[in-house]
Amino acid sequence: MRFAGFAVLFLALAACVSAHSQTPPAPVRDAALAQRLGADERGMRQYILVILRTGPYVTQSDEERARLFEGHFANINRLAEQGKLLVAGPIDQNDHNYRGIFVFNVATIAEAQALVANDPTVTSGIFSPEYYEWYASAALVELPDIHRRIAPAASDH
């Protein structure tokens, strides 16, 4: 009986090892999706990354600060709806004075500068932007649509 239990355990273990040792099928490239997203042969593309740092202006009243950030979020929402802004978010407190990031779906730094020029937190000096060309997955283009599907509706807030 002891041998039979060992044999069953051995066969079960061998089946598990065999199942895990099989190589998964190679992914199939979806050429139509890659073209729609602007992907290169690696599935990547160019974006513009903006890092927002603490700017020189810090003496505004609570009311003015609230008004400026209301405009900041309105600008973020407008640019996201236009498909220009793919990612935006704050950065936790750090020693580099980084405050947040934007990832823009535009081809040049000049285009990103024009979009950020309408942000009242930048024009007031609350934030000071730094611009970088950034090469990343073309799948980022899909993030805003995915976010809309998982975020609560405005009426749910």
Domain assignment present for 15: no
Tokens 């089946």, residue located: 15
Domain assignment present for 20: no
Domain assignment present for 2: no
Q: Which of 26, 54, 23, 37 is nearest to 105 (CA)?
A: 37
Domain assignment present for 137: yes
Question: Which residues are within 8 A (CB) of 104 and not within 5 positions of it... i.e. 6 or more apart?
Answer: 47, 48, 49, 50, 79, 84, 85, 86, 111, 112, 115
Domain assignment present for 36: no
- Structure pTM? 0.78
Domain assignment present for 63: yes
Domain that holds residue 57: 44-148
Domain assignment present for 130: yes
How many separate domains does the chain show?
Answer: 1
Spatial distance between the Cα atoms of 153 and 157, rounded to a whole number of angstroms: 7
CATH code of the domain containing 67: 3.30.70.1060
43: left (phi over 0), alpha (psi -120 to 50) or beta: left
Buried b (16+ CB within 10 A) or exposed e, 15-25: eeeeeeeeeee
Question: What tens-digit pLDDT sequence spans the chain (157 residues)?
Answer: 554 554 444 444 455 555 555 777 777 889 999 999 999 999 999 999 999 999 998 767 999 999 999 999 999 999 999 999 999 999 999 999 999 999 999 999 999 999 999 999 999 999 999 999 999 999 999 998 898 899 887 666 5
Domain assignment present for 52: yes
